[in-house]
């Protein structure tokens, strides 16, 4: 943990109690976030990326969700242990959040201004006028024209992109150190997506906020992030700098993700290559690597035991049996015959 | 807004005119007349009576005459109790019925909202189950069963409340009003409780509640600012139908608790073919109901800013 690190997650386990049993959504996640950087968490639906992010501020619905074990260090504090009262003070003021669907994330019966000021008034002892002034300022900052008038309007008078801007204004109003953005552009038009991403980048530089960006869109990752954590089946399987992941990835799941993304230089006749199969059942997660069942390079050991972390470089770690000295060299484009390591 | 209210008021008059016309036609198509059920009256007396109440004229003419009087606010004289005008009957009976109905509406809406909230917060826990059993009882036990049961236990056995009768008009002593108000409110209370519970659960699962929590607001603030107001909207919309329910329910309750409200006249006048009372009471209740629906619509717009009353489409 360098002195640049502001958030350090270690051994996080999160489960949901359901009628069918315990769904182990997050199974031992280690992550860290440095000051002012953007960390992207990528992975398909059900990989545990949203649950990981919401656990940081304990926003997982509870019950049924429970943080089973692990620590989340934020400054001096362990966020899994702080009392509720303290958590209310941290949420919104030190860690802000924006969500996927701006159409449903704003309260329809409250003016946008009120939704910004109520956080300000709760965290700082702002008077009404002062808070309103700050809210106007925030709306202007996120690029909403005519903020003095707009502030008194209701969410249904805003377009989708403007609502996401308003969400960003709410999340950043108290100048948080960390912004957790849970698929912030998934529900938006492509043109609006680009605007929102640009806005986030611009504000990040202005306010020196660190961003945890949850997405399954690798285009967004390339645009925004410095570092990437690839999640699968409730675990992080590979982490590295953006170029490590895009150009030197070592994990077959990351390869699969890359291959299933359309590219501009791709010939139109070439099909995208999807990853066959479906993610593991987290009610009864596999003993070994969660990706083994779908992995073209899987060996017997992959089904038996979770691989340890391999340091590919200072910035790049991967958790895969192919890194084992005895493993055969895997060709990314040419799945090897199944080899046995014992 | 003023324009909208004006339009609604005009529509309201049209509705009332339609209701009174339909009632007039239906009423006169029931076989028999106010004097047919009693022992044979001498031919001459009958003539004289019919002449007095304009019943000897052709129906269209009677209709025109009635409408003329109605326009001046005169509802005519009761045929069965000629000493009283319908206006007098209404002004004596209505304050009583109004007190009873208002108390029942207040109980149903406040207690219902609170019980529904508690049930939702304690979802799938014993409190929730108990409240839902009470609600199902409220929906399935008719108030003419509940009323006498309360009279027997709360009135006769434990002597907490008087079992029947009524004090003086609208300002009746509270003790007389307790049992009938509760009996009358039981069904709407159950309706409101169930609606509030499901509406709360729906709102609690909404994304904007998560947003409010992400701002750091403590649970009580999230609840009072974000959950309650949104959850109560559907409850406001059924206040109209609930008023209807309470008004029609009050006929039975007034009978059981011998309360001198309008309910008695409503039932008796029909079996007596007391034409002017039938018309008077029907028009009076209809006016009350359309007004109530109008008020509910106004309230709805007040609570939910997405509803702009009278706004033109695409505005």
The domains located in chain B, with CATH, are 98-271 (1.10.3720.10)
Q: Which two tokens stand for residue B67?
A: 């409408």
* Interface subset of B 203-262, CB within 8 angstroms of A: 206-208, 210-218, 221, 225-226, 229-230, 233
Read off the pLDDT band of B247 (50, 70, 90): confident
Question: Which of B123, B205, B211, B224 best probes binding to A when mutated, by most A CB atoms within 10 angstroms?
Answer: B211
Question: Which of B205, B216, B234 best probes binding to A when mutated, by most A CB atoms within 10 angstroms?
Answer: B216
CA–CA separation, B192 vs B178, rounded Å? 20
The answer to whether residue A22 is domain-embedded is yes
For residue A17, give every residue at least 6 positions away whose Cβ sits within 8 Å of its Cβ, in sequence order, or none.
Answer: A23, A63, A64, A66
| Average pLDDT of chain B, as a whole number | 84
Query: Which residue from A88, A115, A156 is facing B306, i.e. has the nearest CB?
Result: A156
Q: State how far residue A266 is from chain B, nearest Cα, in angstroms.
A: 38
pLDDT along chain A (342 residues), means of 10: 78 89 88 90 87 89 83 88 89 89 88 90 85 89 89 90 88 89 84 86 88 89 90 90 88 85 73 79 86 84 86 88 78 55 46
pLDDT at B47: 82
Chain-chain contact of B226 with A110 (C-beta, under 8 angstroms): yes
Query: Which residue from A89, A105, A119 is facing B207, i.e. has the nearest CB?
Result: A105
Full 3-state SS string of A104-125? CCCCCCCCHHHHHHHHHHHHCC
Estimate the share of chain A in helix, then strand, then coil, as percent rounded to the nearest 5.
30, 25, 45
Q: What is the pTM of this model?
A: 0.77
pLDDT at A338: 46
The answer to whether residue A319 is domain-embedded is no
Query: Which residue from B211, B213, B305 is facing A106, i.e. has the nearest CB?
Result: B211
Q: State how far residue A191 is from chain B, nearest Cα, in angstroms.
A: 24
Q: State how far residue A138 is from chain B, nearest Cα, in angstroms.
A: 15
Number of residue pairs across A and B with CB atoms under 8 Å? 79
pLDDT at A335: 54
**Beta carbons of B200 and B123 less than 8 angstroms apart:** no
Query: Which residue from A59, A89, A111 is facing B210, i.e. has the nearest CB?
Result: A59
Whole domain around residue A99: which residue ranges?
A: 5-232
pLDDT at A1: 47
Q: Between residues A135 and B170, which one has the greater pLDDT?
A: A135
Chain-chain contact of A106 with B221 (C-beta, under 8 angstroms): no
| pLDDT-above-70 percentage for chain B | 94
CATH number of A219's domain:
3.40.50.300
Q: State how far residue A175 is from chain B, nearest Cα, in angstroms.
A: 12
Distances (CA, A) of B249 to B15, B134, B184: 23, 19, 7
- Alpha-carbon torsion angle A184, A190, A195, A198, nearest 10: 70
Chain-chain contact of A91 with B213 (C-beta, under 8 angstroms): yes
Query: Which residue from A91, A104, A154 is facing B215, i.e. has the nearest CB?
Result: A91
The answer to whether residue A247 is domain-embedded is no
CA–CA separation, A100 vs A186, rounded Å? 6
Chain-chain contact of A107 with B304 (C-beta, under 8 angstroms): no
CA–CA separation, A286 vs A288, rounded Å? 6
**Using a CB-CB distance cutoff of 8 angstroms, which residues of chain B are in contact with residue A19?**
none
pLDDT at A203: 87
The answer to whether residue A251 is domain-embedded is no
pLDDT at A333: 65
CA–CA separation, B117 vs B125, rounded Å? 13
How many separate domains does chain A show? 1
Query: Which residue from A97, A105, A171 is facing B208, i.e. has the nearest CB?
Result: A105
The answer to whether residue A18 is domain-embedded is yes
Q: State how far residue B188 is from chain A, nearest Cα, in angstroms.
A: 26
Question: Which of A51, A62, A88, A157 best probes binding to B when mutated, by most B CB atoms within 10 angstroms?
Answer: A88
- Tell me what the mean pLDDT of segment B222-232 comes to: 89
The answer to whether residue A154 is domain-embedded is yes
Chain-chain contact of B207 with A93 (C-beta, under 8 angstroms): no
- Tell me what the mean pLDDT of segment B180-188 comes to: 88
Chain-chain contact of A92 with B217 (C-beta, under 8 angstroms): yes
CA–CA separation, B259 vs B167, rounded Å? 9
Grouping H, G, I as helix, E, B as strand and the rest as coil, residue A144 is coil
pLDDT at B310: 59
Question: Which of A17, A60, A105 best probes binding to B when mutated, by most B CB atoms within 10 angstroms?
Answer: A105
- Tell me what the mean pLDDT of segment B64-82 comes to: 84
Chain-chain contact of B218 with A88 (C-beta, under 8 angstroms): yes
Read off the pLDDT band of B303 (50, 70, 90): confident
């Amino acid at each position: 943990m360098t002195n640049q690190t502001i958030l350090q997650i270690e051994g996080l386990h999160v489960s949901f109690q359901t009628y069918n049993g315990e769904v182990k959504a997050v199974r031992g996640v280690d992550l860290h976030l440095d000051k002012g950087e953007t960390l992207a968490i990528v992975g398909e639906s059900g990989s545990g990326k949203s649950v990981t992010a919401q656990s940081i501020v304990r926003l997982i619905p509870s019950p049924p969700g429970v943080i089973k074990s692990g620590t989340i260090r934020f400054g001096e504090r362990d966020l899994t242990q702080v009392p509720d009262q303290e958590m209310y003070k941290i949420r919104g003021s030190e860690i802000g959040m924006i969500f996927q669907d701006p159409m449903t994330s704003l309260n329809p019966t409250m003016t946008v201004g009120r939704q910004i000021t109520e956080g300000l008034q709760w965290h700082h002892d702002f008077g009404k006028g002062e808070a309103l002034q700050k809210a106007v300022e925030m709306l202007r900052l996120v690029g909403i024209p005519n903020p003095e008038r707009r502030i008194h309007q209701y969410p249904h008078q805003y377009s989708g992109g403007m609502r996401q801007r308003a969400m960003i204004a709410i999340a950043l109003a108290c100048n948080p150190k960390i912004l957790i953005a849970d698929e912030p552009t998934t529900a938006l038009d492509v043109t609006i997506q680009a605007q929102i991403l640009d806005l986030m980048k611009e504000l990040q530089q202005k306010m020196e906020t660190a961003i945890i960006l949850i997405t399954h869109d690798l285009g967004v990752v390339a645009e925004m992030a410095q570092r990437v954590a690839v999640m699968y089946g409730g675990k992080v399987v590979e982490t590295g700098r953006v170029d490590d992941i895009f150009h030197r990835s070592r994990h077959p799941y990351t390869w699969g993700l890359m291959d299933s993304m359309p590219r501009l230089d791709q010939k139109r006749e070439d099909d995208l290559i999807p990853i066959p199969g479906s993610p593991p059942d987290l009610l009864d997660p596999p003993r070994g690597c969660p990706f083994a069942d779908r992995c073209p390079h899987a060996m017997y050991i992959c089904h038996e035991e979770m691989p340890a972390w391999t340091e590919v470089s200072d910035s790049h770690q991967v958790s895969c049996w192919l890194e084992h000295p005895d493993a055969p060299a895997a060709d990314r484009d040419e799945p090897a015959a199944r080899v046995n390591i014992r | 807004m003023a324009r909208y209210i004006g339009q609604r008021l005009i529509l309201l008059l049209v509705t009332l005119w339609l209701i009174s016309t339909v009632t007039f036609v239906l009423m006169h198509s029931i076989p028999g007349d106010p004097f047919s059920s009693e022992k044979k009256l001498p031919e001459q007396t009958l003539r004289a009576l019919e002449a007095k109440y304009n019943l000897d004229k052709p129906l269209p003419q009677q209709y025109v005459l009635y409408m003329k009087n109605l326009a001046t606010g005169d509802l005519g004289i009761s045929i069965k109790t000629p000493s009283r005008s319908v206006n007098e009957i209404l002004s004596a009976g209505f304050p009583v019925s109004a007190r009873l109905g208002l108390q029942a509406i207040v109980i149903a809406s406040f207690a219902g909202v609170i019980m529904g909230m508690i049930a939702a917060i304690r979802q799938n826990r014993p409190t929730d189950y108990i409240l839902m059993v009470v609600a199902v009882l409220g929906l399935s036990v008719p108030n003419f069963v509940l009323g006498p049961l309360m009279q027997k236990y709360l009135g006769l056995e434990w002597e907490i409340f008087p079992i029947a009768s009524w004090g003086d008009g609208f300002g009746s002593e509270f003790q007389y009003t307790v049992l009938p108000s509760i009996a009358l409110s039981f069904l709407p209370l159950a309706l409101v409780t169930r609606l509030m519970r499901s509406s709360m659960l729906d709102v609690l699962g909404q994304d904007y509640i998560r947003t409010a929590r992400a701002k750091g607001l403590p649970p009580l603030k999230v609840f009072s600012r974000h959950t309650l107001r949104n959850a109560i909207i559907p409850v406001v919309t059924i206040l109209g139908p609930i008023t209807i329910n309470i008004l029609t329910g009050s006929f039975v309750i007034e009978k059981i608790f011998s309360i001198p409200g309008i309910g008695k006249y409503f039932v008796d006048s029909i079996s007596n073919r007391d034409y002017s009372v039938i018309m008077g009471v029907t028009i009076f209740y209809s006016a009350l109901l359309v007004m109530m629906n109008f008020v509910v619509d106004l309230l709805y717009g007040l609570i939910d800013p997405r509803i702009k009353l009278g706004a033109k489409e695409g505005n």
